[in-house]
Amino acid sequence: MNPFSYQGPVEPHALIDRRLELDALQRAAADRVAIRLAAPRRFGKTSLLDAHIASMRAVGHRAVRIDLSKVANVGDVAARVAESFSVLPTDPRRSVRRWAARLGVTAKLAGVQLSIAPSAARPGADEARAALLELLDVPLGLHEADGGVTIVCLDEFQDLLVADDALDGLFRSVIQHHAAAAAYVFAGSQPSLMRALFSERERPFYGQARPLELPPLPIDEAARDIEVLLRADGLDAGGAVDELLAFTGGHPQRTVLLAHHVYNLLDQPGQPEDLATAAIDLALAETRDVHQAVWDGLGRVERIVLLALADGQAPTGSRVADEHRIARSTLQDALERLLADERNVRRDDQDRPFVLDPLLGEWLRRR
């Protein structure tokens, strides 16, 4: 079986590197320090959280991940919390069982799955808010019962504001009393919005979490981990792994995607002469529709800026402006829009903009 799974969060044992980040999360949990973890999409944030949860459970702690992605209202948020907390031992106040039934979610209580049919009438906003207030206090009830700690990872935390702009205040009002009962990780894939939630004075969580950025994979360590997995199945990629990591720059999901294709190419007869190029070609064929959708969603000036970045040109420089007869200020405005969107363009450590997805950059260069 190909060990490089790239279509979703990877299993904790298959996580490539991230030793420093896991150590930081574990130390913070031991000290009951809240962490704000920010990373672009496909950077392995959820995989890291799952590995953290597995390590915490391995030493006897309770640990859960609550997926808040695309929650639409307070009822959605309460249901996600109830579903996630249902894997915990039944809380002394039976909050999870009671609210799970009323919210219409499937609960797994005391190790036995309990299927609950959705209720005919979902709770209104006020009832859902009451449910959320009580459910969020479950870690405190468990701590009062046995003195243990619960590790709570709130994934895509910034999506709370889509459901209700005041929900971060509700969360804060409850969990501020959990100093000994729980350790929290607030994770999100929109770094600027996550920063705003914790650094703007008017927000309830201002200054309430230690920041932890998730950088690209370190090249040397990632190469070593990939080669270990290949050799475990008797495969040798030669210098292809180094070539691919130079291409991806350590982008986590793209690195694993290309490693997946390298594994398959090595595991079949007729190995290509240029293994790295063959893997990139396969990955581009697989992701072509995604790149086309990105391109189709951009305006003319944004496309020009993105192409310039992919080609290694200064996107707001005189050369690009003269070639396309566009004012440099117009190009700068387009660049700022792409940066604000955070999906395709970011700044590096030296404040230079770059195309975040190396496969998108290659697709643009080949157009």
3 state DSSP class of 182: strand
Dist CA 184 CA 28 (whole Å)? 9
**Hunting for tokens 């060990």 — which residue is that?**
3
Reduced DSSP (H G I as helix, E B as strand, rest coil) percent helix, strand, coil of the chain, to 5 = 55, 10, 35
Using alpha carbons, list the distances in angstroms from residue 210 to 48, 186, 207. 17, 10, 8
- Per-residue pLDDT, 14: 75
Per-residue confidence band for 120, with pLDDT thresholds at 50, 70 and 90: very low
Q: Which region among 30-44, 121-135, 224-238 has the lowest average model confidence (pLDDT)?
A: 121-135
Dist CA 149 CA 361 (whole Å)? 45
- Per-residue pLDDT, 114: 45
Which contiguous run of DSSP H or E holds residue 353? strand 353-355
- Per-residue pLDDT, 111: 47
Which one-letter DSSP state was computed for residue 65?
E
**Hunting for tokens 């990105």 — which residue is that?**
294
**Hunting for tokens 């390590």 — which residue is that?**
55
Dist CA 337 CA 351 (whole Å)? 16
- Per-residue pLDDT, 367: 85
For residue 117, pLDDT beyond 70: no
Based on its alpha-carbon atoms, the radius of gyration of the chain, rounded to whole angstroms, reads: 23
- Per-residue pLDDT, 116: 45
Q: Contact at 8 Å (CB) between 338 and 262?
A: no
Mean pLDDT, rounded, for 210-222: 91
| Digit-coded pLDDT (tens) for 245-271 | 999 999 999 999 999 999 999 988 888
Dist CA 135 CA 60 (whole Å)? 22
Residue 157 token pair = 């935390």
User: Could you give the count of Cα atoms lying within 13 Å of 119 in the half-sphere of its Cβ?
Assistant: 14
- Per-residue pLDDT, 107: 61
Backbone angles phi, psi at 113, to 5 degrees: -70, 130
Mean pLDDT, rounded, for 184-193: 90
Q: Contact at 8 Å (CB) between 196 and 158?
A: no
| Digit-coded pLDDT (tens) for 146-168 | 999 999 999 999 999 888 889 99
Mean pLDDT, rounded, for 220-225: 92
Mean residue pLDDT of the chain comes to 91
DSSP 212-265: EE--PPPHHHHHHHHHHHHHHTT---TTHHHHHHHHHTT-HHHHHHHHHHHHHH
Per-residue confidence band for 100, with pLDDT thresholds at 50, 70 and 90: confident
Non-local CB neighbours of 303 within 8 Å, separated by 6+ positions? 295
Strand-pair category, 107-109 with 182-188 = unpaired
CA triple 40-41-43, angle to 5 deg: 75
Comparing CA positions, the residue from 139, 361, 331, 165 lying closest to residue 248 is 361
Q: Contact at 8 Å (CB) between 4 and 263?
A: yes
Strand-pair category, 345-347 with 353-355 = antiparallel
Q: Contact at 8 Å (CB) between 255 and 240?
A: no
For residue 186, pLDDT beyond 50: yes
| Digit-coded pLDDT (tens) for 319-367 | 999 999 999 999 999 999 999 988 999 998 899 999 999 999 999 999 8
- Per-residue pLDDT, 106: 66
Determine how many CB atoms are found less than 10 A away from the CB of residue 310: 20
3 state DSSP class of 32: coil
% of residues, the chain, pLDDT over 90: 71
For residue 96, pLDDT beyond 70: yes
